[in-house]
Amino acid sequence: MSEVAGTLQAVLGRKKPVEAVTARDFQQPRRMSAKRLAAFHLTLKNLLPALERKLAETTGLHFALALGVLAEADADALLARAAETPCALRFRCQKAPAWCFWEPAAAAGTVEAILGAKSAVGVARKLSPTETRIAAQLLTEIVRAVAGGLALAVSDFAFVQVKTELGSWREAGGEADSYRFEVPLEVRLGEQASTLRIYLPGIASEEAEAGALAPETLPAHLELVEVELSACLQGCEISLDQLLALEAGDVIPLEARLGDPTTLSIEGLTLAQARLGRHRGRLAVRIERLDVQPGALA
């Protein structure tokens, strides 16, 4: 060993070089700790049984869902690698562009099965208008459930089969962020298995959440102040003529069922994630996770 090399080893305080260094792609965003990812994984995994039941009611078929490994992604990178003829749901999440990508062949096979095909074998192709509506409804149900579990607001759904119609994360304006939280969902229908990937903005950083923690004690002058606690249930769709014909005493059936996830909020501020149920003969919710997120007001 040369004198220079020996000096370096002495300064570094070791006799042997490091055996291996973990590769790190610095173009891949990494904002979450393993602990936080594990918490999100548990939350999303717990809502899958209710989502499976919802899809069975909607389609008449049994879907088996499994959550993959949660990750983080850059919107530019994920849009660049999208197929020229994608099968995707474009939507808004916390007012920013978001996407759900599904394997085109799996989407075609699933839609064929929903339409009653005996032995549907999916082949990557553009879906017909009828098939598009079915695929969009299916993906919308899934996205709503996943976003709801993370206390994120979603809207403006559009099914996309042309890459140029996917849009850009920059559509959110000058303060737009290319960061997306990736939720991979494994979908099995009979012998068919596929993965759809949901990319969500609006996940607050751990530093921001830590800075928004409530004080340990409540000031005395606020102890008796009353606030309104609201539970957001699954809505329903009615035609405009039905809406105008509503009268006192009419009953509007909701799609919410016992066991469905719901969000608790106080004056628009998300407080907790819960599930709908009964307690002593009355409708009630069971709190599963406290989750105060000031960003939900945006």
What confidence tier does 52 reach under pLDDT thresholds 50, 70, 90? very high
What confidence tier does 209 reach under pLDDT thresholds 50, 70, 90? low
CB-based contact 154:171 (threshold 8 Å):
no
Residues of the chain with CATH 2.30.330.10: 227-245+253-297
CB-based contact 110:122 (threshold 8 Å):
yes
- pLDDT score of 295: 45
Give the CATH number of domain 227-245+253-297; options: 2.40.50.140, 2.30.330.10, 2.30.30.90, 3.40.640.10. 2.30.330.10
Please determine, for residue 74, whether its predicted confidence score (pLDDT) is greater than 90: yes
Lowest pLDDT segment from 10-14, 120-124, 236-240: 10-14
pTM of the model: 0.64
E-state strands within the chain: 64-67, 71-74, 87-93, 96-102, 154-160, 179-189, 192-200, 229-232, 261-266, 269-279, 282-293
pLDDT tens-digit readout, 89-119? 999 998 999 999 999 998 999 999 888 887 6
CB-based contact 289:271 (threshold 8 Å):
no
Residues of the chain with CATH 3.40.1550.10: 34-205
CA distances from 189 to 52, 122, 181 (A): 11, 12, 26
CA distance linking residue 95 with residue 173, whole number of Å: 10
What confidence tier does 168 reach under pLDDT thresholds 50, 70, 90? very high
CA distance linking residue 235 with residue 256, whole number of Å: 7
DSSP states of 178-219 = -EEEEEEEEEEETTEEEEEEEEE-----HHHHHHTPPPSS--
The CATH number given to 34-205 is 3.40.1550.10
